[in-house]
Amino acid sequence: MSPAYRVGGFLAAMAVVFALSFGVGRVVDPVDSPPPAPPTHQQHAE
């Protein structure tokens, strides 16, 4: 196997890993989702 094929295979594998991690990241925490609402502090009268 020539070095050109090895480098090409490595770059292709890295592209696949990047695409998979990007896809998983979009599913878990989408970038364009609205920010969560701030927590409300309730005051309790005692």
Specify the pLDDT at position 45.
62
Residues 44, 46: Cα–Cα separation, whole Å? 6
Specify the pLDDT at position 35.
72
Mean pLDDT along residues 7-28 = 94
Reported confidence tier of residue 30, pLDDT bands at 50, 70, 90: low
Q: What single letter denotes the amino acid at residue 37?
A: A
Specify the pLDDT at position 25.
85
Specify the pLDDT at position 27.
84
- Give the single-character DSSP code of 32: T
Mean pLDDT along residues 16-37 = 83
Whole-structure pTM over 0.85, yes or no?
Answer: no
